[in-house]
Amino acid sequence: MAKPAQGAKYRGSVRDFPNFDPSQDAETLYNAMKGFGSDKEAILELITSRSNRQRQEICQSYKSLYGKDLIADLKYELTGKFERLIVGLMRPPAYGDAKEIKDAISGIGTDEKCLIEILASRTNEQIHQLVAAYKDAYERDLEADITGDTSGHFRKMLVVLLQGTREEDDVVSEDLVQQDVQDLYEAGELKWGTDEAQFIYILGNRSKQHLRLVFDEYLKTTGKPIEASIRGELSGDFEKLMLAVVKCIRSTAEYFAERLFKAMKGLGTRDNTLIRIMVSRSELDMLDIREIFRTKYEKSLYSMIKNDTSGEYKKALLKLCGGDDDAAGQFFPEAAQVAYQMWELSAVARVELKGTVHPAGDFNPDADAKALRKAMKGLGTDEDTIIDIITHRSNAQRQQIRQTFKSHFGRDLMADLKSELSGDLARLILGLMMPPAHYDAKQLKKAMEGAGTDEKALIEILATRTNAEIQAINEAYKEDYHKSLEDALSSDTSGHFKRILISLATGNREEGGEDRERAREDAQEIADTTSGDKSSLETRFMMILCTRSYPHLRRVFQEFVKMTNYDVEHTIKKEMSGDVRDVFVAIVQSVKNKPLFFADKLYKSMKGAGTDEKTLTRIMVSRSEIDLLNIRREFIEKYDKSLHQAIEGDTSGDFLKALLAICGGED
């Protein structure tokens, strides 16, 4: 078992049991398995509350007292997932890893995910112990077995990791950081084909501290995170392994939080993954994993296990988890720091925002106007030409084409496009042709006209636009509809929701940095959910969320977690309902990470039966020149598939072609 560094706090959930008596425990287990049936409750209670070291002593005492092998008896008495979990806890950690790897490469097929998880996440010391345990348990050489069962660059990287020779020096050379950034860039992005050996050498050998700085510098130098380059340059299991290595370099606990979430989300539970992680991390970093899980997925690991498993298996897993972070006072103070670091790393705070549509280099409005006229003249319409021109010009260039079209032909390009195109494609192309503020104004108008109001569209636009964008929307609304946006909102919405939207529609959000003292006061103001009624709580939230600057609000959210043990989003969802809840959640998500907010909206517009074409079109049009590239990166990071793939699987025809052109590439 790897011990915490000198002075480091113990972050496991299972500790040594006080007043430990191995003979007494051996007797308890023997009695629990004696006779007909077994006392599973007694077995799980005892084994989950002893450390691994103590369990080894119990095994020895059991053999001395009864001349029997405890693990063999447990295997005989227990069944299924519960048996796998309890027996897993009884093995020393290195032997547990050795058994997992043996199972992963035995029989037909290889469990690459298991190999990746273990070898990408273990320290040098753990790797050395694993290699020795494998040799001892199976009288075989681990490297030879893995080499025989894998191939290509995937095999080469696994062999490098198996050496357990990652540098461990915390002193980092800035010159070497720059050199590694350059070498990685030249091995991937700048090279025809990829020099995989450079990726293997650098990511397989450099220290964690060094590589974190390499990743930061790589982002500054190339404008894209290292993960994006790995996805673009590598493929298959090799790509998955390298991404896992990068995740573990950044944060091993976050890597495992993500693996646990994916093991339980959706239909069915990946029990082998769940058992392996809960057993192997219970005495290492389970508390860190819990914190990150709660912050990242807005629910506790405990509650997800509780809802996803059953019986003694569930009880044992919950004991290993060690506590419910949704229970009052259970959220650790360190979680505030974890939450804040995650927001600081978000695209908004760290990465330059980039669109996917750029001004055309050899722009000729005259030629474009003529080509568009030709595409719409006579019988039939040349949709391909229309899509090609309009999706590859910036909005400013499209306005010049409109002007030139009118000067040349005395015709309104928008009216011609409207008569020639139809359905989803027409909405998309016409949306691209409108100046952004006028497009947003039109979307707001549509959301409020007719029977019923599209609150989601109102929230999405007003909660995410900057002051300058809001002011331009107000002017465009007045110009196009001869009515103020505020009047329109007033007549179409009501109550607190109306007040919040009007506040957002003034475009008066502060634009300065953070004020720490004031952030503490603001956090206190919204943290006090007990004083006053619901109406006064909503007013307090509105005054802060609708007026403070984004950097200041990030600090408020951090202070809020420290004070309450809750993420502000969790509190909003608990204390509020309906449209008021939805608009506040949208503001919070936008402050934390705006590209991720839009990535979530795009995913929801395409998942399940049917597609929400209006939302899909609105986001693709409105973000194409602002941050659609960042949205793409967040999309693939969260959903394990690219936005390009999602669009391809969910739309068709010319609408699909136009959307993919705006998307701007496959990740």
pLDDT for res 401: 98
Of the candidates 226, 128, 124, 121, the one whose C-alpha atom is nearest the C-alpha of residue 169 is 124
Look up residue 653 and give its amino acid: G
Look up residue 452 and give its amino acid: G
Distances, alpha carbon 488 to alpha carbons 436, 459, 472, 581, in Å? 19, 15, 16, 22
pLDDT for res 79: 94
pLDDT for res 170: 77
Look up residue 80 and give its amino acid: G
Dihedral, 420, 422, 424, 427 alpha carbons, nearest 10: 60
Question: Cα–Cα distance between 92 and 51 in angstroms, integer?
Answer: 10
pLDDT for res 216: 92
Assess whether pLDDT exceeds 50 at residue 406. yes
Q: Which comes out higher in pLDDT, residue 551 or 298?
A: 551
pLDDT for res 231: 86
Q: What would the pLDDT profile of 207-259 be if each residue is shown by its tens digit?
A: 999 999 999 999 889 888 899 889 888 889 999 999 999 999 999 999 999 99
Q: Average pLDDT of 367-393?
A: 94
Q: What would the pLDDT profile of 447-490 be if each residue is shown by its tens digit?
A: 999 778 899 999 999 999 999 999 999 999 999 999 999 999 99
Assess whether pLDDT exceeds 70 at residue 330. no
Question: Cα–Cα distance between 226 and 393 in angstroms, integer?
Answer: 29
Look up residue 368 and give its amino acid: D
Residue 531 makes CB contacts below 8 A (sequence gap 6+) with: none
- Please calculate the CA angle 260-266-271 and round it to the nearest 5 degrees: 45
Assess whether pLDDT exceeds 60 at residue 340. no
Of the candidates 280, 405, 353, 407, the one whose C-alpha atom is nearest the C-alpha of residue 12 is 280
Assess whether pLDDT exceeds 60 at residue 582. yes
Q: Which comes out higher in pLDDT, residue 610 or 581?
A: 581
Of the candidates 315, 326, 308, 325, the one whose C-alpha atom is nearest the C-alpha of residue 265 is 308
The residue to which tokens 């990287």 are assigned? 157
Residue 34 contacts residue 28 (beta carbons within 8 Å): no
Assess whether pLDDT exceeds 90 at residue 6. no
Distances, alpha carbon 294 to alpha carbons 287, 332, 557, 636, in Å? 11, 11, 15, 21
Q: What would the pLDDT profile of 26-48 be if each residue is shown by its tens digit?
A: 999 999 998 777 899 999 999 99
Question: Cα–Cα distance between 468 and 507 in angstroms, integer?
Answer: 7
Q: What would the pLDDT profile of 252-278 be if each residue is shown by its tens digit?
A: 999 999 999 999 986 678 999 999 999
Q: Average pLDDT of 126-147?
A: 97
DSSP label at residue 8: P
Max avg pLDDT among 229-243, 399-413, 624-638: 399-413
Query: Looking at the chain, how many residues does it have?
Result: 667
Cα separation of the two ends of the chain: 39
What SS3 state is found at 534? helix
Question: Cα–Cα distance between 505 and 376 in angstroms, integer?
Answer: 39
Assess whether pLDDT exceeds 80 at residue 518. yes
In terms of Cβ atoms closer than 10 Å to its own Cβ (0-12, 13-18, 19+), residue 171 is: exposed
DSSP-derived secondary structure for 380-394: S--HHHHHHHHHTS-
DSSP label at residue 467: H
Question: Cα–Cα distance between 645 and 325 in angstroms, integer?
Answer: 36
Distances, alpha carbon 461 to alpha carbons 441, 457, 465, in Å? 9, 6, 6
In terms of Cβ atoms closer than 10 Å to its own Cβ (0-12, 13-18, 19+), residue 180 is: buried
pLDDT for res 530: 67
Q: What would the pLDDT profile of 160-193 be if each residue is shown by its tens digit?
A: 999 999 999 878 888 999 999 999 999 887 666 5
Residue 525 contacts residue 559 (beta carbons within 8 Å): no
pLDDT for res 348: 36
Question: Cα–Cα distance between 428 and 624 in angstroms, integer?
Answer: 12
Assess whether pLDDT exceeds 90 at residue 150. yes
Output the six-digit token pair for 164: 């357990």
